Structure 1
Amino acid sequence: MTDLKPHRQPVQVPLVTRPLGLWGSLQASRRNVLSIIPEVATRQPILSGKTGKRWHMVMDPPAIRRVLLENLDAYPKSLVTKNLLKPAIGESLFIAEGAHWRWQRRTAAPVFGHRNVMNLAPVMSAAAGRSVDRIRAAGPRAVDFLEEMVSVTFDVISDVTFSGDSTFDRDGVHSAIDAYIAEAGRVSLFDLLGFPDWVPRPGRAFFAGGVNQMKQMADRAIEARAQRDPNTVPDLLDLLKAGADPETGRTMSTAELRDNLLTFIVAGHETTALTLSWSLYLMAFDQEAQTRARAEARSVLNGGVAGGEDVPNLPFIRKVIDEALRLYPPAGMVSRTAREDDTLCGREIRKGDTVILPIYALHRHHALYDDPHAFRPDRWEKKPDRYAYLPFGDGPRICIGASFALQEAVIILATLLANFRFAPVRGRDPDPVMILTLRPQGGVWLEAEPL
């Protein structure tokens, strides 16, 4: 049973309108860390308070620019954030600071250049085609498209990373990642506010065995790479192995290769899967926009599957993805620890204060967006302030794989829209909940009618 009539606004996180106190905030954050954001954060440039230690929520684009660009070294990622992720991805690009981060970034940046990303487009197209086949085979019934999008994006990232090497246990790594995200990703309020590590975190359990297994499998695949045919199209592992820091000539060790590859695998499939899941939810929510997006896809695609060369010719589908990333940013909130005294929005920031960038509230800020809770892809005719829209972060630490992720999302979404008409399932709206990333809790249940 479907309901084709869209609601007035797509689903959103109910932000708090009254002080919760420490216990209330802790209880709320255990279910959904975004639910502790005050509604007034969508109307003010900065909010400050003290919950054990001083904190500041910053929603002002110039102040955010200072944190992410102008005074970057004064706002490192919090120690808790690093300790949360380090068991899985070591001192990789995502966690490293200072000189150790810079040489890795210089080495990896050419890997994600336009030419290399375009060379990987056929892998994305092939995975999109397999997704179409799976959805058709499911028959006329509701499908959880969160699960399907996780499958298709993991297909992509494992193939572009390890080229389907038999030494890479795809199912084993996938299971280990899911277990790690489910447990380590339950960010507590204590983490967000930068409490020290010795403060107990209720309910946290690191799946050390699964993480170690994941690392061992990646190490084996890296070491076996010497037997690969040198005439094949290079994948991410080949490109990283061949890469060197242009300033020092330093290359990555096996451990450094593994940690960065696992970073790309974990981040690369999870965030794109979420972007696609929310985009499909919005397409079912707004049938008029879906019809328009489908017409664009079918006018461009040859054979029903999008390719890399089609991406520039799918501007409305790109707008749908941009709007999905605005409404449901994968990283809905990030925190930094002030390393020195500073001033943001005229507010005193002291060394040791926690500075929170509530991306979810920033993207729905009434001073930055008209009708901010509404799904309006055409708002992307005009780009917002650069620091008012941060699905991939910004500054020197902007997500290195942003162009890869956007190309993949456009290829897969266009392919699905060209082949199916999507309708929502009554009573099965997803619930936006942040557990490490902003996920549609309960899944994205849609009916897909083949065309």
Structure 2
Amino acid sequence: MTAASRLPVRVPLVTEPKSILESLQMARRNVLSIIPAIAMTQPMVSGKTGKRWHMVMDPGAIRQILLDRLEDYPKSVVTKNLLKPAIGESLFIAEGAHWRWQRRAAAPVFSHRNVMNLSPIMTAAAERAADRITAAGPRAVNMLDEMVTTTFDVIGDVTFSGGDTFDRDKVHGAIDDYIAEAGKISLFDILGLPDWIPRPGRVMSGKALKEMKSLADNAIVERAQRGNDGTPDLLDLLLEGIDPETKRQMSTSELRDNLLTFIVAGHETTALTLAWAMYLVGFDKAVQDRARAEAQSVLNGRACTGGDVENLPFVRMIIDEALRMYPAAGIISRTAQKADTLCDREIKPGDTVMIPIYALGRHQMLWDDPDSFRPERFADRKAIDRYAYLPFGDGPRICIGASFALQEAVIILATLLSRFEFTPVAGKDPEPVMILTLRPEGGVWMTAKPL
């Protein structure tokens, strides 16, 4: 067996220029396939596909985009056209003052205290996942499906803990339908045409979204009238949220758009991280054994809690390494508003500026042996350039739910590794394919031996 064949699965990258039509066809199949292979060795790559674009891998230039000149690099038209029908002008899409007041109002929701208070819900979902895997017996389990179910359990319970009349299956189905259809980049998006022009393939998903938004609106109004006397959940905290500067509170539609943002981001991205982490621990038995020993030592047969997370450093390193190798958001895109210079290269207003997070995490100038699975590279986090590792973005627009996602991922992975020995199914390696998020296409198939 060659060294290359022992590496975890990778995306085949472009080695020669492609036409607009070829690029569009490739992007509809797998967005990451449009990344040129030289992006793994260069600080910046530029080109033109209908309009000028730049891919930036230099940490200093990335800091300029995400922090120093944040206002000059708003989210791209493509990103907004894909997501606005689902989540409106929520935190993820809004810009300027409209984004700032929402961020200030929502920030307390994800405080350390509130995230820790939600850990029993994460633990209960992890325990139910373990029960389902046990019930499956000796047959193989698709851990991608299992992780999607588990993380949707979590987000459903932390969002609507009061048993509101909210059809979770319909919401889940509508989200999946929208990601499957709306996530396919349209030529209209590439050309920057207005979002009121219908995109082929988004009509049916739009109907599902309309129903989903109606369900969410009703649940919000009901909760506002009824209140909740238990531990505040995500909806309670959002209802209470006030921007300390403007004293503004979110309207029902603003609450709904942000709630749907958190539901989508709060289960899809964490589920994918966990699915890739499961693939990787199946790929390397020694890593799995070390993580299991740590989890069993800390948990000692009991349920995992939020307080255990800091005592599971190696399990956390596996999550970090999975995020480096297979970031859920494989590319983030911005549109330059003003003239600028990045890596001694001219940036013009209207240029598309992309940060290919997938390429950044595998860049040969930033990481030693970047295509290898080595969780221990995160043992000393201070040794890693802040702008070389961006699974949650950075700057003022860093993912507001990062601590929530990391705590959830560690709790679920530690719970499963402490209960089972996982073996991958031969010949069933997943394929890394990104539409809106980087998914292991084909699933992550494993057999689980109870311990």
TM-score bucket of the superposed structures, by smaller chain:
over 0.9
Contact 2:105–2:244 (CA<8 Å) still a contact in 1?
yes
**1:19-30 correspondence runs (5 A):** 19-30=17-28
Letter in structure 2 aligned against 1:88: A
- Aligned mates of 2:200, 2:25 — CA distance in 1: 11
Alignment of 1:107-256 (within 5 A): 107-188=105-186, 191=189, 193=190, 195-197=192-194, 205=203, 207-226=205-224, 228=226, 230-256=228-254
Structure 1 gap segments, 5+ residues each: none
CA distance in 1, matches of 2:191, 2:93: 16
Equivalent residue, structure 2, for 1:429: 429
Residue in structure 1 matched with residue 391 of structure 2 by the alignment? 391
In structure 2, what is the equivalent of residue 40 of structure 1? 38
The alpha-carbon deviation at position 36 of structure 1 amounts to 1.1
Is the 1:304–1:419 Cα contact (8 Å) retained in structure 2? Answer: no
- Tell me how far apart the structure 1 counterparts of residues 210 and 366 of structure 2 sit (CA, whole Å): 44
- What TM-score, normalized to structure 2? 0.96
Q: Structure 1 residues 399 and 368, CA, compared in 2 at 3 Å: closer, same or farther? A: same
1:282 has 2:284 as partner: no
What does the per-residue CA deviation read over 1:303-346, in whole Å, with 9 as the maximum and x for residues that have no partner? 34311010000000000000000000000011111111111001
CA displacement, residues 11-64 of structure 1 (integer Å, 9 cap, x when unaligned)? 010112222232322222221111111111000001111111111110000101
- Offset of residue 195 of structure 1: 3.2
Question: What does residue 447 of structure 1 align with?
Answer: 447
Q: What TM-score, normalized by structure 1, do the two folds share?
A: 0.96
Query: How far off its partner does 1:7 sit?
Result: 5.0
AA matched with 2:193: P
Alignment equivalent of 2:271, drawn from 264, 270, 273: 273
**1:436 counterpart letter in structure 2:** L
Q: Which of 341, 346, 354 is the matching residue for 2:339? A: 341
Q: 3-state DSSP class of the match of 1:99?
A: helix
User: Of 79, 82, 87, which residue of structure 2 is paired with 1:81?
Assistant: 79
What does residue 412 of structure 1 align with?
Answer: 412
Distance 1:226 1:52 in 2: 48
User: How far 1:220 moved relative to its partner?
Assistant: 1.1
Q: Is the 8 A contact 1:32 1:433 kept in 2?
A: yes
Secondary structure of the residue aligned to 2:124 is helix
Q: Residues 337 and 355 of structure 1 are in contact (CA less than 8 Å); yes or no, is this contact kept in structure 2?
A: yes
- TM-superposition CA deviations, 1:200-256 (whole Å, max 9, x none): 866555511100111111111111114646431000111111110001111111111
1:15 and 1:37 in contact (8 A); partners too: yes
Identity across aligned pairs (percent)? 70
Q: Secondary structure at the match of 1:207?
A: helix
Counting matched residue pairs gives 446
Asked if 1 retains the 8 angstrom alpha-carbon contact of 2:77 and 2:192, the reply is no
The separation in 2 between residues aligned to 1:194 and 1:307, in whole angstroms, is 48
CA contact (8 A) 1:222 1:237 kept: yes
Q: Which amino acid aligns with 1:392?
A: F
| Structure 1 position 83, deviation (Å) | 2.1
Change in Cα spacing, 1:421 to 1:124, as seen in structure 2 (3 Å) is same
How far apart, in 1, do the equivalents of 2:80 and 2:362 lie?
28
Aligned partners of 1:10 and 1:374 also within 8 Å? yes
SS of equivalent residue, structure 1 residue 365? coil
Aligned 8 A contact 2:283 2:424 in 1? yes
| 8 Å Cα contact 2:130-2:416 kept in structure 1 | yes
CA distance in 2, matches of 1:194, 1:404: 36
CA distance in 2: counterparts of 1:188 and 1:306, whole angstroms: 44
2-side partners of 1:163 and 1:94: how far apart? 24
Superposed displacement of residue 66, structure 1 = 0.5
Secondary structure of the residue aligned to 1:50 is: strand
Deviates further, 385-394 or 197-206: 197-206
Structure 2 regions of 5+ residues with no counterpart? none
Tell me the CA shift for residue 188 of structure 1. Answer: 4.5
1:379-410, Cα deviation, whole Å (9 max, x unpaired)? 11233111111100110000000000000000
| CA spacing shift, 1:448–1:194, aligned 2, 3 Å | farther
C-alpha RMSD of the superposition? 1.7
Which residue of the partner structure matches residue 104 of structure 1?
A: 102
Question: How far apart are the structure 1 equivalents of 2:199 and 2:250?
Answer: 34
Deviation at 1:356, TM superposition (A): 1.0
Structure 2 residue identity aligned to 1:195: G
The one-letter amino acid of 1:320's match is I
Distance 1:366 1:167, change over 3 A: same
The answer as to whether partners of 1:76 and 1:337 remain within 8 angstroms in 2 is yes
Residue in 2 that maps onto 1:257: 255
Q: Match of 2:94, SS?
A: coil
In structure 2, the residue matched to 1:62 is 60
Comparing 47-56 with 399-408, greater Cα deviation is found at 47-56
Q: Distance in 2 between matches of 1:129 and 1:187?
A: 38
Find 2:360's aligned residue among 344, 362, 376. 362
Mark the CA change 1:222 to 1:115 in structure 2 (over 3 Å): closer, same or farther: same
User: Are 2:178 and 2:202, in contact at CA under 8 Å, matched by a contact in 1?
Assistant: no
Q: Answer whether contact 1:30 1:187 (CA < 8 A) is retained.
A: yes
